[in-house]
Amino acid sequence: MEYSLEERIGNPDLFVGRKEELAFFLKWIREIEERKSKSTAILARRKMGKSALMERLFNITFDKNGGVIPFYYEVKEGKKWVVDFCQDFFLTFIYQYIAFKSRKAIYLKPLIEPNFDRAKQAAAKEGLDYLIEIIEGIEHASQSGHVDLLWQSVRDMPKAVAFIRKEFIVQIIDEFQFLNAMIYWDEAKTRLADDLAGGYLSTAESKTAPLLVSGSWVGWLMNELITMLPARFRFTPLENMPEDEAVEMIFKYSRFFDVPVTEETAFLIARLTEGSPFYISSILRSQYRDKDLSTIEGLSKTLEFETLNDRGEIKSTWMEYVTTAFSRVNDRYAKNIVLYLCKHKEREVTRRELLEKLSLDMTDAELEKKLKALVKADIIEQGRSYFYYRGVQDNIFGKVFRGVYQDEIEDFEVGEIGREYREAFEKLKKQYHRLQGKYNYQKGYFAEYLILSQLMYHARKKSDLLKSITHNLPPDFEFCDYSRVWSYRYAPEFAEGFSVDIYARSRLAEGYSIIGEVKNRDKKKFSKDEVLEFEKKLKQIVELEQLSPIVDFIFSREGFTKEAEEYCLAHGIAYTEDPRWLDI
Ligand SMILES: Nc1ncnc2c1ncn2[C@@H]1O[C@H](COP(=O)(O)OP(=O)(O)O)[C@@H](O)[C@H]1O
Ligand SMILES: [Mg+2]
């Protein structure tokens, strides 16, 4: 699948999971046509995958070419003059609109810098003459010096176009909080326009061009939205990934960036990071020189580097939060408070406890104000009421924080953190072996990924063996060089969201591509109904991807029912239960 808008994730195949969110938001976008969808804010800290998700939503909506026109704009970090900003915002909208209408993706990434004249030419060339007047209007406004009027027109333009043309537009605005934090009324950038977002009061109610915004400054943005745009937005957090998606992400990144993991370490990473895409991608792409993610020792060292070293992505990202927070709440008590909450992160702590335990020399009201500011900056969390607070609920932030501040406040030995990671991994390892024990096997907890590696790296060398342990392959079958080997999750937009475990696409036109299903954690034999189900999915993929020739392949550890086997034999489906497929 090729996507039109270039995604920052790089290779589009790297996108993993987010199945539930994709299904939810695609439905939300679909329902814009029924005027049912209410403006929504996706809130999550940096690097949780908001942009990845939003860009994918854009692309799916763009390619679907249905009744909703997608507009994606990221408000960048960094100071900007409002006139420059408005031009960029407006031209991005116009170019994306022209791209959608003309079905020419080139407008999404124009070779020449967009400007008003070029936009007019493009509109004329694509037969969208009604845009020309609109572009001229904004061109004049941007020369008039009435910057507030300029922002008003630009801001309302997607909604206005939707209205005039009787169309539907989804306005996806990434990092919405920067509207109020990065844009200046004057060219010298001395007067901050701190209420641009507030202008969305009526636009955000639009049912024909609703907003889907994101924000990384969760506490701050929520506060702004609640005060400036009351009841205009629904809030949706973007959480960590569920375990199956986390594991898929680990194996995918492992293969793509050529960083080996084992089944065991993949499990350990998934559990320790609790499925945070930020932590997973930081670990797999870590700059640590001796990175070895195939052993507990190597894994601990990599995490230690990420946690304590300034070049660690994890540390540097967290320190951005901490630095902004402390620039607003500037004193040493703040550090003690955060440290205390980190140490007791398993429970909520009251203000009274903080006052007593840390002998804070301040009134309860002063403490409340300070805590509120820390919550707003996302480095502590609100508890069940305004009297309760707690530390960030993950396994890593506390260690980053201690690494930086603990020795300032208390005696502290840095080696402690590496030790703690090792201990955590040893504990998780026991869980892993218990789970394996439950299924009574040593290998193949994540069988689909072992088979994918088998196909990618070893199949051609071990061709005779693998062929001999697989039933019903076509007589002329050979393993070949595969251009991509992933599990395949197709955009839920086109069919009921479906996935297959194995999707190995042959590089050569005449080579067999393989589409397969893997069943390893089920004590039942593979049934005929399941084969039929698999065949249905397969047909859709073959159609979508125009694959030929292909081999349908099923691996089932518990084997097959008699009917299933007969069906496979009669319908040219290759099948196997041989665990040697998992030896890599
Ligand atoms: N669904 C996903 N599949 C694969 N990688 C992801 C996914 N979501 C996030 N990532 C990884 O995490 C990084 C940060 O994601 P991004 O979307 O930029 O986060 P945010 O916009 O929330 O700051 C991406 O560059 C990518 O490496
Ligand atoms: Mg982003």
Whether residue 478 contacts residue 413, with contact meaning beta carbons closer than 8 Å, is answered with no
Place 564 in a pLDDT band, splitting at 50, 70 and 90. Answer: very high
Total Cβ atoms within 10 A of residue 165: 16
Q: Which amino acid is at 425?
A: F
Cα distance between residue 348 and residue 343, in whole Å: 11
CATH number, span 447-582: 3.40.1350
Q: What is residue 3's predicted lDDT score, i.e. its pLDDT?
A: 77
Rg (CA), the chain: 27
**Is 1 a residue whose pLDDT tops 70?**
no
Least Cα distance to 196 among 31, 364, 297, 83 occurs for 83
- Which pLDDT band holds residue 329 (cuts at 50, 70, 90)? low
CB neighbour burial string for 169-198, b if at least 16 within 10 angstroms, e if fewer: bbbbbbbbbbbbbbbbbeeeeeeebeebbe
With a cut of 70, say whether residue 562 has pLDDT above it: yes
40: helix, coil or strand?
strand
- Cα(437) to ligand 2 centroid in Å equals 41
Binning pLDDT at 50, 70 and 90, where does residue 232 land? confident
Distance (Å) from CA 45 to ligand 2 centroid:
9
Question: Would you place residue 505 in the very low, low, confident or very high pLDDT band (cuts 50, 70, 90)?
Answer: confident
Q: Whose CA is nearest to atom 23 of ligand 1?
A: 47
The DSSP bridge pattern shows strands 499-506 and 482-489 to be antiparallel
pLDDT score for 323: 84
CA of 380 to the centre of ligand 2 (A): 21
Most ligand 1 atoms within 8 A of CB, residue of 5, 9, 172 to mutate:
9
pLDDT at 425 over 70: yes
Ligand of minimum distance to the alpha carbon of 56: 1
How many Cβ atoms are within 10 Å of 423's Cβ, its own excluded? 11
pLDDT, one tens digit per residue, over 509-525 is 888 999 999 988 777 89
Helix/strand/coil for 295: coil
With 70 as the cut, is the pLDDT of residue 496 above it?
no
Say if residue 493's pLDDT is above 70.
no
Site to substitute for ligand 1 among 281, 316, 318, 487, most atoms within 8 A of C-beta: 281
pLDDT at 567: 93
86-112: average pLDDT: 93
* pLDDT, tens digit, 9 for 90 and up, residues 310-326: 999 999 999 988 887 88
Mean pLDDT for 564-584 is 91
What distance in Å separates the CA atoms of residue 377 and residue 530, rounded to the nearest whole number? 50
Q: Which ligand is nearest to the CA of 245?
A: 1
* Contact predicate 43/12, CB 8 Å: no
Cα of 121 vs centre of ligand 1, distance in Å, is 36
pLDDT for residue 328 is more than 70:
no
The topology (CATH level 3) of 12-237 is: Rossmann fold (3.40.50)
Query: What phi and psi values does residue 323 have, to the nearest 5 degrees?
Result: -65, -45
CA 501-507-511 angle, to 5 degrees, is 85
Residue 225 pLDDT exceeds 60: yes
pLDDT tens, 243-252? 988 998 999 8
Q: Which atom of ligand 1 is nearest to the CA of 9?
A: 25
Rounded Cα distance, 469 and 486, in Å: 22
Q: Which atom of ligand 1 is nearest the CA belonging to 281? A: 27
Amino acid at 211: L
pLDDT tens for residues 160-215? 999 999 999 999 999 999 998 899 999 999 999 888 888 888 888 888 889 999 99
Q: Any idea how long the chain is?
A: 584
Q: Which ligand is nearest to the CA of 47?
A: 1
Which of 5, 51, 318, 489 to mutate for ligand 1's pocket (most ligand atoms within 8 Å of CB)? Answer: 51
Which atom, in ligand 1's list, is nearest to the CA of 18?
1
Strand order in the sheet with 234-237: 68-74, 168-174, 211-215, 40-43, 234-237
Could you tell me the distance, in angstroms and rounded to a whole number, from the CA of residue 8 to the centre of ligand 2? 9
Return the amino acid letter for 157. M
Closest residue by Cα to atom 15, ligand 1, is 49
Determine the Cα–Cα distance for residues 428 and 114; give it in Å rounded to an integer.
53
Interval 356-400: pLDDT, tens: 888 888 888 888 888 888 888 888 888 888 889 998 888 899 889
Q: Is the confidence at residue 412, as pLDDT, over 60?
A: yes
Specify the pLDDT at position 80: 94
Residue 309 pLDDT class (50, 70, 90 cuts): very high
Nearest-atom number in ligand 1 for the CA of 16 is 3
Measured in Å, residue 14 CA sits from the centre of ligand 1 at 10
Our CA angle for 319, 320, 326, nearest 5°, is: 80
Ligand 2 centroid to Cα of residue 221, in Å, is 14
Q: Is 297 left (phi over 0), alpha (psi -120 to 50) or beta?
A: alpha
CA of 283 to the centre of ligand 1 (A): 13
Which of 494, 464, 491 lies closest to 479, judged by CA? 464
Task: Say how far apart CA 5 and CA 96 lie, in whole Å.
Answer: 9
Closest to 280 in 3D by CA, of 237, 313, 320, 236: 313
Q: In angstroms, rounded to a whole number, what is the distance separating the alpha carbons of residues 16 and 22?
A: 11
Which numbered atom of ligand 1 lies nearest the CA of 17?
Answer: 1
Distance 174 CA to ligand 2 centre (A): 7
pLDDT digits (tens, 9 = 90+) for 448-482: 888 888 888 888 888 899 999 999 999 999 898 88
> What's the gap in Å between 94 CA and the centre of ligand 1?
27
> What DSSP string runs through 392-446?
-SSSSHHHHHHHHHHHHHS---THHHHHHHHHHHHHHHHHHHHHHHHHT-SS-TT
**pLDDT over 60 (residue 436):** yes
Whether residue 549 has a cis bond before it, omega within 30° of 0: yes
The DSSP symbol for 561 reads -
Tell me, what's the pLDDT at 103?
Answer: 93
Rounded mean pLDDT, 38-52:
92
The gap from C-alpha 39 to its chain's centroid, in whole angstroms, comes to: 20
Query: Residue 246: nearest ligand to its CA?
Result: 1
CA-nearest residue for atom 14, ligand 1, is 47
What percent of the chain clears pLDDT 90, i.e. is strictly above it? 45
Q: Which residues approach ligand 1 with their CB closer than 6 A?
A: 8-9, 14-18, 44, 46-52, 216, 249, 277-278, 281
Q: Which ligand is nearest to the CA of 173?
A: 2
Residue with tokens 């969808």: 37
Question: Residue 538, CB half-sphere, CA atoms under 13 Å: how many?
Answer: 22
Which residue, judged by its Cα, is nearest atom 9 of ligand 1?
49
Ligand nearest to the CA of 73: 2
The secondary structure of 77-140 as a DSSP string is SS-EEHHHHHHHHHHHHHHHHHHHHHT-GGGGS-SS---HHHHHHHHHHTT-THHHHHHHHHHH
Dihedral angle at the C-alpha atoms of 16, 21, 23, 27, nearest 10 degrees? -140
256: CA distance to ligand 1 center in Å? 15
**In the predicted model, what is the mean pLDDT of residues 552-557?**
92
State which ligand 1 atom lies nearest to the alpha carbon of 55.
Answer: 17
pTM to 2 decimal places: 0.87
Buried b (16+ CB within 10 A) or exposed e, 119-153: bbebbeebebeebeebbeebbebbeeeebeebbeb
Helices and strands counted in the chain (H then E):
21, 15
- Which residue's CA lies nearest to atom 26 of ligand 1? 9
Q: What mean pLDDT comes out for the span 102-123? A: 91
Residues 521-537, mean pLDDT to the nearest whole number? 87
The pLDDT-based confidence of 491 (bands split at 50, 70, 90) is low
Distance 355 CA to ligand 1 centre (A): 39
Backbone dihedral angles phi then psi of residue 250, each to the nearest 5 degrees: -65, -50
Two tokens, residue 180 = 């109020």
**Which of 487, 530, 529 lies closest to 505 in space, CA to CA?**
487
- What is the distance between the alpha carbons of residues 476 and 171, in angstroms, rounded to a whole number? 52
Q: Quick one: which of 267, 300, 265 has its CA closest to 396?
A: 300
Residue nearest to atom 7 of ligand 1 (CA): 49
Cβ atoms 28, 40 nearer than 8 A: yes
Q: Best substitution site from 47, 175, 279, 378 to test ligand 1's pocket, by max atoms within 8 Å of Cβ?
A: 47
List the single range of 229-233, 298-302, 551-555 with lowest mean pLDDT.
Answer: 229-233
pLDDT digits (tens, 9 = 90+) for 256-307: 888 989 889 999 999 999 999 999 999 999 999 989 999 999 999 999 999 9
Q: What is the mean pLDDT of the chain?
A: 88
Residue 500, classified by CB atoms within 10 Å of its CB into exposed (0-12), middle (13-18) or buried (19+), is buried
Whole-number Å distance, alpha carbon 341 to ligand 2 midpoint, is: 28
